[in-house]
């Protein structure tokens, strides 16, 4: 599936050409039309005092707004939705006032780049749920069966590029999202990927690319947020290169690491570097024991679905705080469910 097939078609029924296309699509695809219910709910969101008034059942549905029809080519569904402004207003209505109206509009305009779409997939979906609309997504990898313990996808997506999977999921949440896709990963496009971004979320596995991405972010004064699964827990890194442009990458934990040498590191050397990045003192006992037998008794480092979701949620939280100008200091944050619930493993 190419990039064009991963983007929905948005049709305005008041436009002559769109109307003709709409009639053709209606004959050949699954039609979902709950537009009147959306209009009614929007009316009640704007007039909350009427919510429990029995007479309000049909209020708002006689609007002249015809909305938009959205065609999703990958599942052949044609859906009748509110127009962009009204759709955003209603879709984020339940965020109030945990996110104020002013904050919601600011987050909508915030430009977020997400490199790596395993944990990055959870982070992306959480941010879109909370109102983010402008995202760049990058991952060259395809979905394998062993990924389905932590990535919210389906067996029908096996072999599909992770960027495309995430894009479709985001468009299904908000077809008006503004996505730029890098299905070949960041790779040699580091400068193009980072240009003009407000924040970068790094969930890449490749240590060489993690460092290269941070060096580009530091040069352009872009903050970086990342999270590493740690058993059932998560370790979140925040690097405010926007506020501290001279700050060493990874909080200086790598020391003087030669970037050119890392390209030739074997698996064991890269694993040692990852331990430095994460901070070995935070790593749980079972995680350490598991890492010691990677390539011997298990073929890759372990990751859990709950930890991926926790990491995604934590990243979304940190990004939103940065976006809205709330206090979010550089540092390493150990989010430990084991500590909260008293688990010693």
User: 39: which residues sit within 8 A by CB, 6+ positions away?
Assistant: 60, 61, 63, 65, 82
Tell me: pLDDT of 1 over 70: no
What mean pLDDT is predicted for residues 203-207? Answer: 90
What pLDDT was estimated at residue 252?
A: 85
Least reliable range by pLDDT among 71-85, 101-115, 273-287, 299-313: 273-287
Confidence band for 2, pLDDT divided at 50, 70 and 90: low
**Mean pLDDT lowest among 100-109, 156-165, 200-209, 264-273:** 264-273
Q: Quick one: average pLDDT of 197-213?
A: 93
Is a pLDDT exceeding 90 seen at residue 208? no
Position 301 pLDDT exceeds 70: yes
| Domain regions of the chain by residue span | 4-90, 101-341
Dist CA 199 CA 119 (whole Å): 16
CA–CA separation, 64 vs 225, rounded Å? 44
Residue 3 above 90 pLDDT?
no
Query: In percent, how much of the chain has pLDDT > 90?
Result: 71
Mean pLDDT of the chain: 90
List Cβ neighbours of 26 (8 Å cut-off, separation of 6 or more). Answer: 78
Topology annotation, domain 101-341: Rossmann fold (3.40.50)
Confidence of residue 292 (pLDDT cuts 50, 70, 90): confident
Nearest-angstrom CA–CA distance, 51 and 173? 25
Contacts of 170 (CB under 8 A, 6+ apart): 124, 125, 128, 135, 137, 177, 179
Residue 93: pLDDT over 80? yes
pLDDT at 52 over 90: no
Residue 42 is predicted with a pLDDT of 93
| 158 upstream amide cis, omega within 30 of 0 | no
Judged on CB neighbours under 10 Å (0-12, 13-18, 19+), 283 is buried
Asked if residue 145 has pLDDT above 70, the reply is: yes
Among 35-49, 56-70, 180-194, 321-335, the least confident range: 56-70
Looking only at the bridges linking them, the beta strands covering 30-33 and 111-115 are: unpaired
Name the residue with higher pLDDT: 281 or 70.
70
More confident residue, 162 or 287: 162
Tens digit of pLDDT for each residue in 80-92? 999 999 999 999 9
- Confidence bin at 267 (pLDDT 50/70/90): low
Least confident segment among 66-75, 160-169, 202-211, 258-267:
258-267
290 versus 331: the higher-pLDDT residue is 331
């Amino acid at each position: 599936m190419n990039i064009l097939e991963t983007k929905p078609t948005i049709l305005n029924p008041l436009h002559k050409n769109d109307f003709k296309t709409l009639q053709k699509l209606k004959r050949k695809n699954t039609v979902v039309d709950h537009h009147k219910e959306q209009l009614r709910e929007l009316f009640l969101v704007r007039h909350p005092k009427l919510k429990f008034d029995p007479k309000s059942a049909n209020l708002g549905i006689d609007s002249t707004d015809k909305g938009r029809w959205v065609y999703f080519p990958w599942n052949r569904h044609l859906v009748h939705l509110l127009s962009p402004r009204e759709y955003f207003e209603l879709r984020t209505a339940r965020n109030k006032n945990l996110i104020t109206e002013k904050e919601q509009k600011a987050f909508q305009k915030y430009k977020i780049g997400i490199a790596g779409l395993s944990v990055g997939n959870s982070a992306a979906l959480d941010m879109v749920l909370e109102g983010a609309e402008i995202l760049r997504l990058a991952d060259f990898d395809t979905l394998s069966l062993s990924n389905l313990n932590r990535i919210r996808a389906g067996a029908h997506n096996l072999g599909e590029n992770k960027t495309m999977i995430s894009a479709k999921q985001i468009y299904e949440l908000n077809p008006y999202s503004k996505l730029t896709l890098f299905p070949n990963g960041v790779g040699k496009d580091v400068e193009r990927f980072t240009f003009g971004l407000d924040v970068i979320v790094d969930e890449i596995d490749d240590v060489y690319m993690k460092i290269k991405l941070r060096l580009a972010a530091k040069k352009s004064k872009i903050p970086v947020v990342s999270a590493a699964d740690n058993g059932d827990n998560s370790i979140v890194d925040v690097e405010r290169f926007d506020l501290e442009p001279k700050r060493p990458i990874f909080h200086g934990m790598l020391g003087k690491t030669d970037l050119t040498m890392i390209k030739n590191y074997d698996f064991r050397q890269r694993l040692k570097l990852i331990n430095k990045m994460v901070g070995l003192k935070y790593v749980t006992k079972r995680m350490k024991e598991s890492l010691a037998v990677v390539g011997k008794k298990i073929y890759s480092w372990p990751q859990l679905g709950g930890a991926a979701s926790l990491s995604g949620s934590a990243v979304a939280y940190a990004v939103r705080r940065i976006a809205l100008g709330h206090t979010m200091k550089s540092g390493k944050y150990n989010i430990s469910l084991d500590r909260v619930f008293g688990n010693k493993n």
